[in-house]
Amino acid sequence: MKVLFLDFDGVLNSKQHFLMYKDVKIHGADTLSDADLFCMKRDVNKNNMWVLGYILEQVPDLKIVISSAWRLHYQIDQFKDLFAIFKLDGERIIDKTPKKFSSERVHEIHMWLDDKKDEGIEVDWVALDDHPIFFLEDPDKAAREFLTDPWIGVTMQDAFKIIKHFNPNYHQPVLLI
């Protein structure tokens, strides 16, 4: 199984994005669910979501596990609804990392992976985040940690690296301008 551990803040949005909409207020949401979905949609950048969609298109069997702090506030179905707004396949979201008292993201990822190993499931994975999550001595750091610039979020250059991890024969497109 191929898995992308996905962060949101600094990946699917950016500091630049938040500066642009800082004065947006929530109006017209009829239910808490509507308000949640409005906030989720407002808090992601459509360009970053498009890049995620490109990754998913190029790695059709890639599954997503939410490792973001957003997983503490939203349910899987809400993430799937958010993906649908951006025409992404929400069924690719299969889980959220566990939250244990005083755990760090690296430990939460490894707990999730250990559960899959106990189930006999082999996982090829990467983590996409805007902050280093692995310790310097962690053998997974270089091969599996993909860091974005929090000012702009995930870019096509990030996407190319992730796709290449899963599909070593992938050749990024050449644009003629």
Instruction: Tell me, yes or no, whether 52 lies in a domain.
Output: yes
**Domain limits for position 146:** 2-166
Quick: pLDDT tens for 101-134.
667 888 899 999 999 999 999 999 999 999 988 8
Q: Is residue 176 part of a domain?
A: no
Residue 2: which H helix or E strand, with range?
strand 2-6
* Model confidence pLDDT, tens digit, residues 8-55: 988 998 767 656 665 544 444 444 455 555 566 667 788 999 999 999
Report the CATH number that the domain containing residue 160 is assigned in CATH: 3.40.50.1000
User: Is residue 41 situated within a structural domain?
Assistant: yes
Distance CA 71, CA 147 (A): 19
Q: How confident is the model at residue 174 (pLDDT cuts 50, 70, 90)?
A: confident
Check the CA dihedral 120-110-1-144 and report its sign: negative
Q: Structural domain tally of the chain?
A: 1
Q: Model pTM greater than 0.75?
A: yes
Q: Is residue 174 part of a domain?
A: no
Judge whether 91 lies within some domain: yes
Whether 111 is covered by a domain: the verdict is yes
In a domain, 171, yes or no: no
Report the run of H or E that residue 71 belongs to, with start and end: none
Cβ-based neighbour number of residue 45 at 10 Å: 21
Considering the domain boundaries, does residue 143 fall inside one?
yes
Report the alpha-carbon distance of residue 147 to residue 169 in Å, rounded.
22
Q: pLDDT > 90: what percent of the chain?
A: 58
Element (H, E) at 151: none
